[in-house]
Each structure stands twice: as structure tokens, then as C-alpha cells.
Amino acid sequence: MKSDLCIFFDPFSVVFTTPSKNIGMRLRDYFSGYEHDRSPDVTIQVNTCGNMPASLFDSLKSFVPTVVGNSFDIGPGIIRGLREPDKKQISIEVHNDFFEQPTGYVFQAFLYLVYYTLCAEHRRQACIIHGCGLVYQNSPFLFIGPHGSGKTTLGLLSGGTIMHDDQMFLRIDSHRTYISSPPLPARDNLRCFSRKAQQIEKIFVLHKDTEWFAKSCTREKSFINVYNEMVLPLRLDRANELQAKKIKLDLCRAVLQSVKIFDLHFSLNDGFKTWLAHERETLGKT
């Protein structure tokens, strides 16, 4: 019996189907909370083979897929698959113990590739960015910065709802920027699905400090900050890192045309509400 699971990848809908009861259960755990009922933009058939050979752990070199026609190989040998664009279908083969092995994180890389392939096919300006999305009193925030900069810490200090503590979907539509929670692993298992994307006008780059204040970044610094946190838009139909970097540059320029980037200095005290009140007063919000 096949196990079907429909998941929301804003703004796309993806169905996973597998004849394996074990893999089906793993997929439901992986995507828990992101179930959807819309007509799919693509169906991913997950087939299984034998257990993971020990030699594959030593061969893992890159998440950049090897692409030959519509066939692809990630790892190499960790995930092998075939795209059938006319049928809106992707078939992949994984080992029975795929999600039990350290190589299970290769699946996240595969999902990145699926997302960016769909963006290209549907001509969407969108990306995955490392950051913490937060909604506080109906106001959305996106905090970015390197690991350890305090993204999750600030999200928890705020008392708001953390959309995702590690990565976010970011898309540009009619010169407006929207963020939404992706069905991807959260560093501290803090993620919350919402069907409605949140519009933002600012992105905050975090810096731990002794006081709270925000200041506008220069255009050059803004570009560097966004570029460094954006996941490279590699695709299943074209494994070209140079071209992916060019697309990434274009995406960064588009983001900077629709939002402003600020350095946010914060301390580990309960100053978020005070800072936010000042922020709203500055913007003339109630």
C-alpha cells in the first residue's frame, strides 16, 4: 500500500508517495505540522533499496548533484533520482535505513534542490535564507546572522511565536517581500506552520551587545549579510554552481530593493518590548 503525504512548500504544494511503511512514517515525522490538501505542483515518489553500505559514508563529498539529462545523483550514491517534468513527477531511490543514518541530512539538501527547481519552473523570485522568523503582536520579524549570533535566543526572549528557528522561505511578489516557515529541520525543534506568508519591510542582522539599538546597514554591508545567509539556488535540472551564484546575486539585489537591512544590537535582558515600542513609535505605528 502506498503512503501519500501532501506538504506545503510556500507557495508550492508537494506530494510524497512511497510503498515503504517505514519511510512513510519517517516522512510524516519529518514534515509533521506542514500537511496540506492542495493540488500538487510536483509528486515525489520515494522508493527504497537495501541498507546503506558503509562505503557510502566515505564517498560523501558534495551536495551538488551530478545531472545527466533528467537523471541526478546526490552524494554521490546517497539519493539517486529521475525527473519527469511533463508528468510533474520526481522519482528518487534511498536506502531502507536512510533516515537512521548520519546521511539523512542529505534529504534536506535534496529539498533545497526541489524548491529552487520549482521556483525556476514557475518563475518565482524566492530563496531559502538562514535566519529566525518571528511573529510578535501580529508584527513579523526576520533575524539573520551567523551561527551563535543569538537568533533563537532573541526569538525566545521576545515571547513571540517563532516561525522557524534556523531557516526561512523568503519570496518577492510585486516588489513586496514575504517570509514563511519551511517544512525543514529546526535547530532546536522550534517551527510553526502557517498558510499565510508574512510581509516584512526590514531584516535585522543580530549582534550581542550590552544595550539595545538598531542602525541602518550600508548597501555594501547589507548585500554581504544577505548573500552570506542565503542558500545557494542549485537545481535538479542544472548542476551549475557558477550560474547558481549569479542567480543568488540577482536574488540579493531584488531583496535589497524591497526591504531595508539593519544591524540590531541586543543584550540578554528583557529589552525586546522596550525596543519594539521605540521601533513602532519611530515608524509611526500604534
- Total domains in the chain come to 2
Residues 141 and 112 in one domain: no
Dihedrals phi, psi of 33, to nearest 5 degrees:
95, -10
Residue 2: predicted pLDDT: 61
Under 8 Å CB-to-CB from 94, ≥6 apart: which residues?
23, 46, 47, 48, 49, 78, 79, 107
Residues 136 and 274 in one domain: yes
Residue 283: predicted pLDDT: 54
End-of-domain residue from the set 123, 145, 160: 123
The H helix count followed by the E strand count for the chain is 7, 17
Q: What is the distance between the alpha carbons of residues 218 and 263, in angstroms, rounded to a whole number?
A: 10
Residues 119 and 137 in one domain: no
**DSSP state, 166?**
S
Q: Which domain holds residue 25?
A: 3-123
Residue with cell 525566545: 156
Q: Do 163 and 117 meet the contact criterion of CB atoms below 8 Å apart?
A: no
Cα–Cα distance list, 89 to 16, 44, 118 (Å) = 10, 6, 11
Residues 158 and 204 in one domain: yes
Report pTM. 0.92
Half-sphere exposure at residue 65, Cβ-oriented, CA atoms within 13 angstroms:
32
Q: What is the distance between the alpha carbons of residues 84 and 211, in angstroms, rounded to a whole number?
A: 54
Residue 286: predicted pLDDT: 41
End-of-domain residue from the set 123, 148, 176: 123
Q: How do beta strands 202-208 and 260-266 pair? A: parallel
Residue 58: predicted pLDDT: 66
Residues 98 and 172 in one domain: no
Residues 115 and 158 in one domain: no
Residues 277 and 170 in one domain: yes
Residues 195 and 111 in one domain: no
Residue 1: predicted pLDDT: 46
End-of-domain residue from the set 123, 145, 161: 123
Per-residue pLDDT in tens (0 to 9) along the chain, 286 residues: 466 999 999 999 999 999 999 899 999 999 999 998 889 999 999 999 887 777 766 666 677 889 999 999 988 888 999 999 999 999 999 988 888 777 778 899 999 999 999 999 999 999 999 999 999 888 899 999 988 898 998 888 888 999 999 999 999 998 899 999 999 999 899 999 988 999 999 999 999 898 888 999 999 999 999 999 999 999 999 878 999 999 999 999 999 999 999 999 988 876 787 887 777 666 554 4
Residues 86 and 131 in one domain: no
Q: Do 244 and 184 meet the contact criterion of CB atoms below 8 Å apart?
A: no
Residues 153 and 263 in one domain: yes
Residues 150 and 99 in one domain: no
Q: What is the distance between the alpha carbons of residues 97 and 133, in angstroms, rounded to a whole number?
A: 32
Check which CATH number belongs to the domain holding 263 and give it. 3.40.50
Cα–Cα distance list, 31 to 9, 42, 44 (Å) = 11, 16, 14
Residues 222 and 116 in one domain: no
